[in-house]
């Protein structure tokens, strides 16, 4: 691996995209249903939009080997052809089950959230900015590298926070069934996606100019992701204080 890329990737876990106040708040304790509505609305919007961005990336990539790597990632995101296993569907299921266990059935249903909870500006900027980056023949390689190399830690931290709600399930096995979205990523998917994105980048990083474009796309995407989590944290903290039932730690 190129030394510059190795340094970038080695430092990714200390970037604001992964070391931020939202993750600390999510992991530290349970959210109120109002906070969960804001989180679910915005995170689901990003997850739902991601396959469309990937499709843009596939079409913008001229190198056939790199295109093949990105197609693998897109196929995985869409549940390998099984719509019930598409990542956005698995995420929706987790939030629906969580609302039910909280005694708030329907509050976190995807269709309801889209109708009644406004998307944050930082979420819209991430979705639109990601699609533009993936349509850029030069910066797309670095943008996808950033996305996939932060994703494993992102999903691990989101799962750590989800475990705060485990005591709501009388049968722990049912909790773990509801968490399939997290396990899909913490298992093989994100490991494979990291390798696929790196394989694509290494084919494109032919000289100093192409490497500079990779680094620019990488940093631009991480900034969009960091701003997304900051916007989400600020929105959650601005909500009126709500009394919540102590769930305890898993």
The CATH number covering residue 187 comes to: 1.20.910.10
In a domain, 9, yes or no: no
In a domain, 8, yes or no: no
Mean pLDDT, residues 209-233: 93
Q: How far apart are CA 78 and CA 91, in angstroms?
A: 12
Q: Is the dihedral of CA 71, 184, 142, 195 positive or negative?
A: negative
In a domain, 85, yes or no: yes
Closest C-alpha among 69, 16, 50 to residue 181 = 50
Q: How far apart are CA 121 and CA 36, in angstroms?
A: 18
Instruction: For residue 85, count CB atoms less than 10 angstroms from its CB and return exposed for 0-12, middle for 13-18, buried for 19 or more.
Output: middle
Concatenating the DSSP letter of every residue in 101-141 gives HTT-TTTT-HHHHHHHSPPPHHHHHHHHHHHHHHT-TTTHH
In a domain, 10, yes or no: no
Lowest mean pLDDT among 125-139, 179-193, 194-208: 194-208
Q: What percent of the chain is predicted at pLDDT more than 70?
A: 87
Q: How many domains does the chain have?
A: 1
Question: How would residue 250 be classed by pLDDT, with cut points 50, 70 and 90?
Answer: very low
In a domain, 153, yes or no: yes
Q: What is the DSSP letter of 86?
A: S
In a domain, 64, yes or no: yes
The pLDDT of residue 8: 80
Q: What is the DSSP letter of 241?
A: P
Q: CA gyration radius for the chain?
A: 18
In a domain, 189, yes or no: yes
The pLDDT of residue 134: 94
CA angle 219/223/229 to nearest 5° reads 145
Question: How would residue 191 be classed by pLDDT, with cut points 50, 70 and 90?
Answer: low
Instruction: Pick the most confident of 97-106, 211-220, 239-248.
Output: 97-106
202-220: pLDDT as tens digits: 666 667 777 888 889 999 9
Which residue segment(s) compose the domain that 73 sits in?
A: 18-237
CA angle 124/125/128 to nearest 5° reads 80
Question: How would residue 67 be classed by pLDDT, with cut points 50, 70 and 90?
Answer: confident
Task: Evaluate if residue 10 carries a pLDDT over 70.
Answer: yes
The pLDDT of residue 37: 98
Task: Evaluate if residue 198 carries a pLDDT over 70.
Answer: no
- Average pLDDT score, the chain: 89
The answer to whether the CB of 8 falls within 8 A of the CB of 218 is: yes
In a domain, 11, yes or no: no
13-60: pLDDT as tens digits: 899 999 999 999 999 999 999 999 999 999 999 999 999 999 998 988
Residue 110: how many other CB atoms lie within 10 Å: 19
The pLDDT of residue 249: 42
């Amino acid at each position: 691996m190129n030394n510059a890329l190795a340094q970038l990737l080695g430092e990714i876990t200390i970037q604001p995209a992964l070391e931020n106040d939202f993750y600390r708040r999510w992991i530290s304790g349970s959210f109120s249903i109002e906070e969960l509505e804001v989180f679910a609305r915005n995170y689901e919007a990003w997850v739902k939009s991601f396959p469309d961005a990937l499709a843009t990336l596939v079409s913008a990539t001229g190198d056939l080997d790199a295109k093949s790597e990105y197609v693998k990632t897109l196929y995985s995101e869409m549940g390998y052809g099984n719509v019930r296993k598409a990542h956005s569907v698995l995420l929706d299921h987790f939030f629906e089950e969580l609302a039910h266990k909280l005694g708030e059935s329907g509050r976190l249903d995807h269709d309801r959230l889209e109708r009644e909870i406004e998307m944050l500006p930082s979420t819209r900027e991430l979705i639109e900015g990601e699609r533009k980056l993936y349509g850029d023949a030069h910066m797309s390689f670095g943008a996808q590298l950033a996305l996939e190399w932060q994703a494993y830690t992102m999903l691990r931290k989101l799962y750590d926070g989800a475990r705060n709600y485990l005591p709501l399930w009388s049968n722990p096995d049912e909790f773990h069934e509801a968490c399939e979205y997290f396990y899909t990523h913490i298992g093989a998917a994100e490991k494979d996606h990291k390798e696929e994105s790196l394989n694509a980048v290494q084919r494109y990083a032919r000289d100093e100019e192409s490497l500079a474009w990779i680094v620019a796309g990488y940093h631009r995407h991480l900034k969009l992701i960091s701003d997304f989590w900051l916007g989400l944290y600020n929105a959650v903290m601005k909500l009126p204080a709500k009394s919540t039932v102590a769930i305890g730690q898993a």
